[in-house]
Amino acid sequence: MSVPPALVYGLTGLFLFVAGLAGLISCAQLLRKILAANIMASGVFLFLVTIGHGRGGVIDPVPHAMVLTGIVVSVSSTAVVLALACRVQETANIHDLLKRRAGGDRE
């Protein structure tokens, strides 16, 4: 007996979602968190497309359309988050520099 492909896709989507969630809560670096959130989103997309394939061979176009929209939304939110992460990085570096300079003055 062969495994139906829809089952593999659906479970893979769920696994990607959970793996992304694991990365999101256990990684401390911002960039890893962003990547993890993207992996979560990919899992959701895969799962939705699989759901749209449907039981009984009829393809439901509504989840497909939602995934198309979701991909674009995910790209734009990633861009915003990356820009924010760059700002955080820059600000953190400035704080580091100021701290170091203050420490150097005291010595």
Partner 1 sequence: MTGNESTGHRRGMGLVPLFNLVMLVALFAALAWGYLAPVSGSSGLAHRVDAALVESGVESRVTAVLLNYRAYDTLLECFVLFLGVVAVWSLRPFRYDRHDPSPGLILSSLVRLLVPLMVLVGGYLLWAGSNQAGGAFQAGAILGGAGVLLLLTSSPLLSALPRGLLSCGICLGPVFFLMMGLAAMVLGRDFMEYRGEAAALAIVALEVVTALSIGLCLAALFGGRRPEAGQEGAGKAVPSQDGGEGR
Closest C-alpha to 82, from 24, 35, 23: 35
Helix, strand, coil fractions of the chain, as percent rounded to 5: 85, 0, 15
Q: Does 8 bind partner 1 (CB under 8 A)?
A: no
Q: Does 37 bind partner 1 (CB under 8 A)?
A: no
- For the segment 52-91, give every residue that binds partner 1 (CB under 8 A): 52, 54-56, 58-66, 68-69, 71-73, 75-77, 79-80, 82-84, 86-90
- Specify the residue, 33 or 105, whose C-beta has the smaller distance to partner 1: 33
